């Protein structure tokens, strides 16, 4: 699924509900999902990782929709590699 299609699907499915919930509450749901992803990373169980990655991406798309951010346009800064050093692979110093 391409980013544009993902964002449209999430909007069609959840935008009305997300709008009623609002940005702040939707952001809290997003952060909860990131926490669940962190737990899945610690266990390393692939099915759980797949589930939590999809939840995090869906909630990120929900937030972007509420804030009228086009995720594909936002990600364009990575189209040619690292947006800091403009290389792929990145040659920036580790931070």
Q: How many residues does the chain have?
A: 95
- Record the pTM: 0.90
Dihedral, 30, 32, 37, 42 alpha carbons, nearest 10: 160
**pLDDT recorded at residue 37:** 98
Q: Within a domain: residue 90?
A: no
Q: Based on the structure, what is the number of domains in the chain?
A: 1
Q: Identify the domain containing residue 38 by its residue range.
A: 3-78
Q: Please, are residues 86 and 64 in contact by the beta-carbon 8 Å criterion?
A: no
Q: Within a domain: residue 95?
A: no
Residue 94 predicted with pLDDT over 90? no
The CATH number linked to 43 is 1.10.287.1080
Q: Within a domain: residue 93?
A: no
**pLDDT recorded at residue 93:** 82
Q: Within a domain: residue 42?
A: yes
Residue 95 predicted with pLDDT over 90? no
**pLDDT tens digit sequence for 16-59:** 999 999 999 999 999 999 999 999 999 999 999 999 999 999 99
**pLDDT recorded at residue 29:** 97
């Amino acid at each position: 699924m391409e980013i544009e299609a993902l964002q449209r699907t999430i909007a069609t499915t959840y935008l009305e509900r997300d709008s009623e919930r609002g940005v702040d509450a939707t952001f809290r749901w997003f952060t909860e999902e990131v926490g669940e992803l962190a737990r899945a990373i610690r266990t390393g169980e692939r099915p759980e990782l797949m589930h939590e990655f999809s939840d995090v991406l869906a909630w990120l798309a929900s937030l972007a929709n509420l804030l009228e951010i086009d995720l594909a346009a936002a990600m364009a800064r990575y189209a040619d590699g690292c947006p800091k050093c403009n290389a792929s692979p990145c040659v920036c110093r580790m931070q």
